[in-house]
Structure 1
Amino acid sequence: MAGFHVRSVLVTGANRGLGLGLVQHFLRMPKPPQWIFAGCRDPKGQRAQELQNLASKHPNIIIIPLEVADPASIKAAAAKVGEHLGDSGLNLLINNAGILKLNTLDTEILEDMSEIYTTNTIGPLLMGQAFLPLLKKAAQGSPGSGLSCSKAAIVNMSSYAGSIEDMYVWDFGQVVSYRCSKVLPDVAGGEPRHFPLQMITLPSNLPLSLCPSLHCD
C-alpha cells in the first residue's frame, strides 16, 4: 500500500462530486501522479469552475473535454491523452462519469432509460476499448509480472444500488434505470488473461475516505 504510485491517471466525470474528489485525492498523495487527466463534458462551464481553479494551481492536471456517451468524443480524448503520454502509456483509467434520474417503476420512460444506459453502462465499455492500447503500453513498460494498479488498471465505479441481491434503499428512491445500469459493470469486471491489466469495480457510494481500495500492489 505504501508503495502505490501511478505515473498517469484519467478520471471521467471529474468536474464535481466523487470525480473531483478523486482528483483532489491524487494530488494529496505522497507521490502524486505526474499526469492527472480530468475528463468532463464542458471544461469551460460553470460546473467545472472548481476543477478549473484546481488545474490553474497544479500543472500536472490536464482537463480533457469528454462525453462518455459520444464515441467521437471518446476517440478524440484517447488521441489527446495518447499524444501527451507517448510511449509511456496510461496507468489508470477510472470510469466514474454517470447520470441518475429519479424515476420509479410507474414513471420510467424509454428516453431516460436509453440515456442512462448509454452513459453508465455502454460508456465505460467504450472507454475501456478506446484506452486499451495506452493501458497496454503502460502495463508492458512497468516492472514486475503481477497485476497492480501501479502497473495498469481500469476501475469502474459501480453502486450498491446495482446489487441484485440487496435492493439498496428501494423505499428511499427506486431510480430503476440507474440500478439496472450499474449491474453490468459488476458482471463485466473480469480481468483479461493475455496481458497484465487489472480490472476493479468499486461501489460509488463508499465513504469518501475513498481510495484505500485503490492502494493495491
Structure 2
Amino acid sequence: MAGPQCCSVLLTGANRGIGLEIVKRLLEKANPPKMVFATCRDPEGARGQELKSLASKHPNLKILQLETTDPASVEAAAKKVKAHLGDCGLNLLINNAGVMPPCTLESATAKDMLDVYNTNTVGPMLVTKAFLPLLKKAAHASKQKGMSCGKAAIVNMSTILASIEKTPETYFFIPVVSYRCSKTALNMLTKCQSMGYKDEGILCTALHPGWVKTELGSDQADLTVEESVDGIMKVLCNLSEKEHGVLVSWEGKVLPW
C-alpha cells in the first residue's frame, strides 16, 4: 500500500477474517501507520489472541474493546483513541464489523431484521459519529490536496449483494435477505455521509470485498482472505474524490448502488 502516508487507522471487527488480515498488512508495510487501532467485542477472548500476539511484536498496534451497537462502548473507545492520538487526528476509519445470518423472505422475523440492522447499519453510524471529531481534526490539519485515506476517510464495508440494480443477478446467490437490506441501508448512510462531510474534506466510500472464504462468507467462496485484502489494500491506496460517495469493489471497480 503505497500512496499518501496514513498515520492512524481504526478498524472494527479486527479480530478475524478480513479485518484481521488488514491489520496484518498495515503492520507489515514499509511505512506502517504510527498507530493502528484494532477493535473487537472481546479482546480477551479466544478470538482476540492473534491480535494480542501481533501487539506484542508491534508497539504501534493498540487493541480496544468496542461493541459497535453499544453507544457507551463506542464512546469509551473514542476517548481512549483520543488519549493515544493526543493532538493528532484519525486518518482512516474502516467500519468492518458485520453479521450475515441465513435469512429468507419466509423465515425473516422482525427481531432478525432489527438485530442485523443494528450491527450492519446502526453500528457504523454510531462509530462514525463518535470518531468524527478526530477525523475532522486530521482533515483540517492535513496539507494534502484533495481527498485520500492519508488525509481523512471513512470506509464502510458493504457488498454487491446490497446493490438494488444488481439484485436480479445475485438474488438466488445466497439467502441473506436481512443482510442485503441492512447493507443497502449502509450504502445510503455512506452516500449521506459523503454529502454531509464533503466540506470537511473527509472521503466517504463503501467497499465490496468480494465473496471471501471467511466465517461470514463460505468455503465455496471465490476468494481467499489474502486475495481479497490484496485488492483492498490497493484500493485504499488509490481512493480519491472519484470514489467519494460510491460503492467500489476490491478490484477498484465502481459498482451501481
- 1:177 alignment counterpart: 178
The one-character-per-residue Cα deviations of 1:56-79 (angstroms, maximum 9, x if unpaired) are 111111001000011111111101
The one-character-per-residue Cα deviations of 1:9-45 (angstroms, maximum 9, x if unpaired) are 0000000011001101111222100110001000000
3-state SS, counterpart of residue 14 of structure 1: coil
User: Is 82-91 or 188-197 further displaced after alignment?
Assistant: 188-197
Q: Note if 1:27 corresponds to 2:27.
A: yes
**For residues 64-213 of structure 1, what are the structure 2 equivalents within 5 Å?**
64-167=64-167, 169-190=170-191, 191=194, 192-205=197-210, 207-209=228-230, 210-213=232-235
Q: Name stretches of at least 5 consecutive residues in structure 2 with no aligned partner.
A: 212-227, 241-257
Q: Does the 8 Å CA contact 2:149/2:236 hold for their aligned counterparts?
A: yes
Q: Does the 8 Å CA contact 2:152/2:203 hold for their aligned counterparts?
A: yes
Q: Does the 8 Å CA contact 1:34/1:60 hold for their aligned counterparts?
A: yes
Q: Does the 8 Å CA contact 1:93/1:153 hold for their aligned counterparts?
A: yes
Q: Output the CA distance in 2 between the equivalents of 1:150 and 1:189.
A: 19
Q: Which amino acid aligns with 2:235?
A: S
C-alpha displacement of 1:187: 2.1
- 1:36 alignment counterpart: 36
Q: Does the 8 Å CA contact 2:22/2:229 hold for their aligned counterparts?
A: no
Structure 1 residues 50 and 169: alpha-carbon distance in aligned structure 2, compared to 1, 3 A threshold: farther
Q: Output the CA distance in 1 between the equivalents of 2:123 and 2:12.
A: 10
- 1:15 alignment counterpart: 15
TM-score, L = length of structure 2: 0.80
Q: Name stretches of at least 5 consecutive residues in structure 1 with no aligned partner.
A: none
3-state SS, counterpart of residue 122 of structure 2: helix
3-state SS, counterpart of residue 194 of structure 1: helix
Q: Does the 8 Å CA contact 1:64/1:77 hold for their aligned counterparts?
A: yes
Q: Which amino acid aligns with 1:201?
A: A
Q: Which amino acid aligns with 1:184?
A: A
Q: Output the CA distance in 2 between the equivalents of 1:40 and 1:88.
A: 23
C-alpha displacement of 1:3: 3.0
- Identical-pair percentage: 50
C-alpha displacement of 1:188: 2.7
Q: Which runs of 4+ in 1 moved over 6 A?
A: none
Q: Does the 8 Å CA contact 1:145/1:196 hold for their aligned counterparts?
A: no
Q: Output the CA distance in 2 between the equivalents of 1:153 and 1:193.
A: 11
Q: Output the CA distance in 2 between the equivalents of 1:2 and 1:144.
A: 15
Answer 1 or 2: higher relative contact order, Cα 8 Å, separation at least 6.
Answer: 1
Q: Which amino acid aligns with 1:98?
A: G
C-alpha displacement of 1:141: 1.2
C-alpha displacement of 1:189: 2.1
- 2:236 alignment counterpart: 214
Q: Which amino acid aligns with 2:34?
A: Q
TM-score, L = length of structure 1: 0.94
Q: Does the 8 Å CA contact 1:10/1:36 hold for their aligned counterparts?
A: yes
Q: Which amino acid aligns with 1:130?
A: A
The one-character-per-residue Cα deviations of 1:82-109 (angstroms, maximum 9, x if unpaired) are 0110110111000000011112111112
C-alpha displacement of 1:169: 4.0
3-state SS, counterpart of residue 26 of structure 1: helix
Q: Which amino acid aligns with 2:203?
A: Q
User: Is 19-28 or 170-179 further displaced after alignment?
Assistant: 170-179
